[in-house]
Structure 1
Amino acid sequence: MRTISGLWRWRRNPLRRTTDLVEAWVALVALLLIAVAAPVIGSLVGARAQDSLQRSVRDQRQSRHLVPATVVRMLERARLEPDPDTSTAHEYRTRVLADWTGPDGTRQHGPVMSGLKSPHKGDHFAIWTDAHGRITTRPLDAATAATHAVLAGFGAAALTTGAVEGGRRLILWRMVRRRYARWDQAWDRAGPDWGKAGTGS
């Protein structure tokens, strides 16, 4: 990384400019922030995400129920996008008309997706519902929640690293622009006779 390349300016050198030393300080601060702040921020974000997601896991486990459903008739066969948590890329789901009873005792009837390959009238399968028997998605499992939390932590650390490096490059860009402006001023002060024979005599 270019952040480390700025540290060579710490060396004692008669040609070293003040801006070289400032650039070295900026590189050192950026390196420390990337090495310390980015992991800390990533850990904090990951921990917060883990707490929030695990709370969602507990809430969903309490509010969603797996109930048995009975096939009335098959509606159509369709290939759906796979569920990344449990499905494979080649899993087929079948749309059927079914009857089921919700956890509160209410009887329900309607089209649902089943994992049955060849459903027939009277076949049984399980579906996820809320407390009133309405169809819902399966609850988030703890392993998936933990994976999302880890990814959130890594993402926060990467964003922090990018922000620090972007800030360092912006500071260096402004320093270079200021350096070029000073050079232009020096050339203007030297006047149009710079380099001609007899100048200053």
Structure 2
Amino acid sequence: MRGNRSEGRLWRWRRNPLRRRTDVVEAWSMLVLWTVVLVGGTLAGLMTAHAAVQASARERAERHAVAAVVLADVPRATTDVGNAYRMMTEVRWAAPDGTSRTGRTLVKRGTESGATITVWQNDRGALTPQPTGATEGAVEAAFSAAVPHWPSPAPLWASALSPGGVSTRGASPGGPRSGS
């Protein structure tokens, strides 16, 4: 009773007196659908990777490292949990136009007043996060291209798990408002 497996998979394509027109339409439709999915998914992945690489390069071009002076002592850490090894504190740095700027940034705990640290600024002199490095950007681009971005079912789960089965997105902190 064993048949050839390839015949079982391709039964829609072979000549058969019992084959219906709908079987042929279904087979061609599936072939076209899978071709579009594979080609479209590949193109979408390549476009995503290219956009991520461009964004990373733009970050590196727009952000510049500059020396900043810590204005106040940063207390030592009392725990090693989470982000406890850094703390927001005031720093002073020179903007691209030469003016002195003051702002807050994360500084390693235990840093003394007057210490020099490196901060990142944009072309207007505002503090920014450190730009993504070239290698880090390439890895990020590869992952963003490889991972499918399917619509998330999270909003459905949220509405099913919220009180009364109603989504609380946008509701006031006291709960949903009653219509008056």
TM interval, short-chain normalised: 0.5 to 0.7
> Structure 1 unaligned runs (5+)?
79-88, 160-201
Paired residue secondary structure (2:69): strand
8 Å CA contact 2:69–2:116 kept in 1: the answer is: yes
Query: Which of 24, 45, 51 is matched with 2:27 structurally?
Result: 24
Structure number with higher helix proportion:
1
Residues 83-142 of structure 1, C-alpha deviations (whole Å, 9 max, x = no match): xxxxxx66721222233222332122343321x220222222111123453322222322
Q: 1:153 aligns with which of 145, 155, 158?
A: 145
RMSD: 3.3
TM-score by length of 1: 0.53
Alignment partner of 1:109 is 2:102: yes
Q: Does 1:49 align with 2:51?
A: yes
* Cα distance in 2, alignment partners of residues 111 and 51 from structure 1: 29
Moved beyond 6 Å, runs of 4+ = 75-78
Contact 2:92 2:101 in 1 (8 A): yes
Deviates more, 1:127-136 or 1:19-28: 127-136
Residues 139 and 131 of structure 1: is their aligned pair in 2 closer, same or farther, counting only changes over 3 Å? same
Aligned residue for 1:8? Answer: 11
Structure-2 separation of matches of 1:123 and 1:58: 26
Note if contact 1:7-1:28 (Cα within 8 Å) is conserved in structure 2: no
In 2, are the aligned partners of 1:75 and 1:97 still within 8 Å (CA)? no
Would the alpha carbon gap of residues 39 and 129 (structure 1) be closer, same or farther in structure 2, given more than 3 Å must change? closer
User: Shift of residue 6 of structure 1?
Assistant: 7.2
User: Residues of 1 paired with 2:98 and 2:35: CA distance?
Assistant: 61
**Structure 2 Cα separation of the partners of residues 27 and 127 of structure 1:** 55
Distance 1:74 1:50, change over 3 A: same
Q: Which has the higher contact order (CA 8 A, sep 6+)?
A: 1
Contact 1:74–1:97 (Cα < 8 Å) also in 2: no
Aligned to 2:12, what secondary structure does the other structure show?
A: helix
Shift of 1:154: 3.2
Amino acid of the structure 1 residue aligned with 2:86: R
**CA displacement 1:7-27 (0-9 Å, x = unmatched):** 422233222211112111112
Kindly indicate whether the alpha-carbon contact (under 8 Å) linking 1:71 and 1:96 is maintained by their aligned counterparts in 2: yes
| 1:70 alignment counterpart | 69
The residue that corresponds to 1:59 in the other structure is 61
**8 A contact 1:74–1:119 mirrored in 2:** yes
Rounded to whole Å, the distance in 2 between the matches of 1:42 and 1:111 is 38
Q: CA deviation at 1:48?
A: 4.1
SS at match of 1:10: coil
Aligned to 2:54, the other structure's residue is in SS state helix
Q: Is contact 1:70–1:99 with CA below 8 Å preserved after alignment?
A: yes
Question: What's the secondary structure of 1:140's corresponding residue?
Answer: coil
